[in-house]
A and B are shown apart, each in its own frame.
Chain A
Amino acid sequence: MLQLLKSLTETDGVSGDEGRVREFIKKEISPYVDKMITDSMGNLIAVKKGSAENPKKVMLDAHMDEVGLIITHICDDGMLKFGVIGIDQRVLLSKRVMIAGRVPGVLGIKAIHLQKRDERNRVVKADDMYIDIGARSKEEAEGLVSLGDYATFTTECEDIGSGRIKAKALDDRAGCAVLIEVLKDNYPDDLYVNFAVQEEAGLRGAGIAAYRINPDIGLALEGTTCSDVPGADEHMYSTVMGCGPAISIIDRSSYSSKDIVNGLIDAAEDAGIPYQMKRTMTGGNDAGMIQRTHEGVKTGVVSVPVRYIHSPAAIMDVTDFENTVSLIKEFLKKGACCK
């Protein structure tokens, strides 16, 4: 599983540019699924038939895209201006990026010696930042990159601490990895697994996939906020690292169906899998789009706790990840719960 996480997180795929991630996932899952479709936005929908006599349609969703930047302008002096997709602009300064997978650049900042005292406390807005690729002029820069190229952080996936990994894009390659593992087993219901695009651009991909699939129930897999860090109150942690997969009750985009929440809790308790309830209402995800599709769909959300999502480097506990895989498998094996 660790090699899978390494390959997934080190592949670049900002919202709108998920092709490389999609090709990787296609290769990984093709031995285990009956059919694969790529739709007009690039969602990868994999269908795996179930063994039951009257199988329900269960839609599982994890998004392939990560937060990143897009080049909007090439300046006369060779510097690049960019737009932000999903990132907190405070994490951008003094980072390396890779543009179009091959051109390294840096997000520099005026040296502290050259700053006025009050400047040091002010947030630099993304509109005022620039990427330096070492070009000396507009022409030179145009030879290296193009308008519309995407840029990602260059974080390597590595072991850290005890049983944890550090990587970029764990939100939501962790969710994708969970679904890849889940697909390797067999279940009573028909699985429609959507590896979604453009969730970070505003939950853009899942809706059209849900429309196409028209499922009976839906479950979104996320890498979610884990704020068990200094400066946060316990009830604001959202989730706690090491306490297992987090089940959501309510978030900005959906209210989880009680049947599904209870089904997940039952599956966890019966199989002795540790789990936690997500403590805050923050964040929206693809479940919101699935819930609203057609005549309404019962949905739930299960997340792997990840510290520092939407920033260049995040941390995840490997046992939390493995327990998430186990929980989803157990839940699916019991059969769809909204009878």
Chain B
Amino acid sequence: MDIFDFLSRVNNLSGISGYEKNVSDVVADIFKEYCDEVTVDSFYNVTGKKSMGGGRNPRVMLAAHMDEVGMLVTGIDDKGFLSFEGIGLDQRILPGQEVRVHGRKELLGLIGAKPPHLQKPGEANKAVDIKDLAIDLAMDCDDVKKFVRVGDTITFKSPVIHMNGNRITGKSLDDRAGVAVMVQAMKELDHLNYGAEVRFVATTQEELGSRGAQISTYDNLPDVGIAIDVTHGDTPDAPKEQTCILGKGPAVGMGPNMHPKLTHRMMDMAKEYGIAYQPEVIPGHSGTDAWVMQVTRSGVPTVLVSVPLRYMHTTVETMDLNDIKNAGRLIALFISSLKEADECFNY
């Protein structure tokens, strides 16, 4: 299964933070094709274990999250329109979006946008507040209440498609593309010699603060952590020093959240095997699962590999397939370079 096939299978599934079960089920099935053992915990984190046999030398845990940004129903008015709250998203993308409301059955909805002729002067220049938006299910109140209640989840409708060249676009590439990186790494490891016991974890609830990764790291007790996420891709409206370039390879995180020696090892492997990469300096919170992995129990030396992605947390997230593939390759090579009591963990 290549990367685009994986994303096609997984991307359009609905799974906001806490509600990842249907994504988890499919990811677990896919992991079974490449791992020795697959388990799912009570928070839907999927762990695929893979080793060449013979103990843990060291235990490496990878983390990439399956949850996506979305919304929750907060009210149903007497005309059947739904009010809602955003979980992790930019409210400016909402007017005119097609959504799916996950009640007793899945319903198609539209976030209405007030037509220009009805707007007050100056209104067009202000961003619409989420509390002034409503989801139109095109049904009357009694029918809506048969299927929908407060607290039901809402996701966007935007399946992944090919664009020009190696570019793809769709919703929730943050961070199902990261899970695709893990599957790529599983495939690459089948062609390498490695001593490590590898645990690939598709985590949950990252968008609410890496909650799945926190409990999964506690449970897995790794010696090394590798977080895999997306990072801001280059666009004309963003400063160069805060973005990475699409197509120029995975970004390797540098800064207090990452272990310096392991980070240099990752960059050395990239240089040795001719994989293009981009150093990404992060002064504090990396905004990824690495933040919690590093401080679990008595500490886990952690590295971060990110794939450039434009328009994060929108329905038009855009990436380069080669970056995803090369991230998987780089990580597999990194894993194969790790030995027990390897000097590079220590300070």
Residues on A facing B (Cβ under 8 Å): 15-17, 19, 22, 38-43, 70-73, 75, 81-85, 127, 147-148, 198, 201-202, 204, 207-209, 211-212
Known: A16-B256, A70-B255. A85 touches B284 (CB 8 A): yes
A-B contacts, 29 of them at CB < 8 A, read A16-B255, A38-B346, A38-B347, A39-B298, A40-B294, A40-B300, A41-B259, A41-B299, A70-B283, A72-B281, A73-B241, A75-B241, A83-B255, A83-B283, A83-B284, A84-B283, A85-B283, A127-B239, A147-B279, A148-B279, A148-B281, A201-B284, A202-B284, A204-B295, A208-B299, A209-B298, A211-B297, A211-B298, A212-B299
Residues of B within 8 A of A38 (CB): 346-347
Q: Whole-angstrom distance from the CB of A99 to the nearest CB of chain B?
A: 13
Q: Whole-angstrom distance from the CB of B42 to the nearest CB of chain A?
A: 22
Q: Is B240 an interface residue (CB 8 A)?
A: yes
Give A73 to B279 CA distance when docked, in angstroms.
10
Residues of A within 8 A of B295 (CB): 41, 204, 207-208
Q: Is B301 an interface residue (CB 8 A)?
A: yes
Say whether chain A's binding surface is mostly helix, strand, loop, or mixed: mixed
Q: Whole-angstrom distance from the CB of A45 to the nearest CB of chain B?
A: 10
Q: Is B114 an interface residue (CB 8 A)?
A: no
Give A72 to B244 CA distance when docked, in angstroms.
12
- Name the residue of chain B whose CB is nearest to the CB of A70: B283
State whether A40 touches B279 (Cβ < 8 A): no
Residues of B within 8 A of A40 (CB): 259, 294, 298-301, 345
Give A22 to B259 CA distance when docked, in angstroms.
16
- Name the residue of chain A whose CB is nearest to the CB of B259: A40
Give A274 to B321 CA distance when docked, in angstroms.
66
State whether A81 touches B299 (Cβ < 8 A): no
Q: Is B162 an interface residue (CB 8 A)?
A: no
State whether B256 touches A201 (Cβ < 8 A): yes
Give A198 to B257 CA distance when docked, in angstroms.
9
State whether B256 touches A15 (Cβ < 8 A): yes
- Name the residue of chain A whose CB is nearest to the CB of B240: A73
Residues of A within 8 A of B256 (CB): 15-17, 85, 198, 201, 204
Residues of A within 8 A of B254 (CB): 147-148
Q: Is B282 an interface residue (CB 8 A)?
A: yes
- Name the residue of chain A whose CB is nearest to the CB of B279: A147
State whether B241 touches A72 (Cβ < 8 A): yes
- Name the residue of chain A whose CB is nearest to the CB of B258: A16
Residues of B within 8 A of A201 (CB): 256, 284
- Name the residue of chain B whose CB is nearest to the CB of A23: B347
Instruction: Give B251-284 interface residues, CB cut-off 8 Å to A.
Output: 254-257, 259-260, 279, 281-284
Q: Whole-angstrom distance from the CB of B193 to the nearest CB of chain A?
A: 26
- Name the residue of chain A whose CB is nearest to the CB of B294: A41
Residues of A within 8 A of B260 (CB): 16
Q: Is B285 an interface residue (CB 8 A)?
A: yes
